[in-house]
Structure 1
Amino acid sequence: MTKIKVIIPAYNEADSIAHVIKDIPDIVNEVIVVSNNSNDDTEINAKNAGATVLTEQNRGYGYACLKGMYYIASQPEPEHPDILVFLDGDYSDYPEELTKIVAPIIDNNIDFVIGARVKSLREKGSMTGPQIFGNWLATTLMTLFFRAKFSDLGPFRAIKYEKLLQLKMEDKTYGWTVEMQLKALRQKLSYTEVPVNYRNRIGVSKVSGTVKGAIFAGVKILGWIFKYSFKK
Structure 2
Amino acid sequence: MSSSVDVILPCLDEARALPSLLAELPSGYRAIVVDNGSTDGSPEIAARFGATVVTAAQRGYGSAVHAGLMAATAPIVAFCDADGSFDMRQLDRVVDPVRRGEQDLVLGRRVSVAASAWPLHARFANAVLLWFVRRRMHVDLRDLGPMRAANRERLLQLGIRDRRSGYPLELVLRARRAGWRIHEVPVDYRPRVGRSKVTGTVVGTAQAIGDMLRMLRRYA
Q: Which residue of 1 aligns with 2:114?
A: 123
Cα shift readout 1:187-222 (whole Å, capped 9, x = no counterpart)? 110111110001100000001223321211110011
Please say which of residues 210-219 and 154-163 is displaced more in the overlay: 210-219
Contact conserved, 1:35 with 1:43, CA < 8 A, in 2? yes
How far did residue 11 of structure 1 move?
A: 0.1
Aligned residue in 1 for 2:154: 163
Q: How far apart are the structure 2 equivalents of 1:156 and 1:69? A: 14
Once the two structures are TM-superposed, the CA of residue 165 in structure 1 deviates from its matched residue by 1.2
Matched with 1:88 is 81
- Note the alpha carbon deviations across 1:42-78, whole angstroms, 9 max, x for none: 1111001100111222211111111112223xxxxxx
SS at match of 2:210: helix
1:95-136 alpha-carbon deviations (Å, 9 max, x no partner) = 100011111112243110000013xx4321111122111211
Give the structure with the higher percent strand. Answer: 2
CA separation of 1:64 and 1:2: change in aligned 2, threshold 3 A:
closer
Aligned to 2:21: 20
Quick one: distance in 1 between partners of 2:99 and 2:41?
35
Normalization by structure 1: what TM-score? 0.90
1:122 and 1:167, CA in 2 relative to 1: closer, same or farther beyond 3 A? farther
User: How many residue pairs are counted as aligned between the two chains?
Assistant: 219
* Mapping for residues 139-218 of structure 1, pairs under 5 Å: 139-218=130-209
User: What is the distance in 2 between the residues matched to 1:122 and 1:218?
Assistant: 24
Cα separation, 1, equivalents of 2:58 and 2:141: 30
Q: 1:2 to 1:46 in 2, by over 3 A?
A: closer
RMSD: 1.5
CA change 1:85–1:46 in 2 (3 A) is same
Which stretches of structure 1, 4 residues or more, deviate above 3 A after TM superposition?
A: none
Q: What is the CA–CA distance in structure 1 between the aligned matches of 2:171 and 2:197, rounded to whole Å?
A: 21
Letter in 2 for 1:136: A
| Amino acid corresponding to residue 204 of structure 1 in structure 2 | R
Match of 1:136 in 2: 127
| Unaligned stretches of 5+ residues in structure 2 | none
Q: Report the TM-score, using the length of structure 2 for normalisation.
A: 0.95
Aligned to 1:104: 97
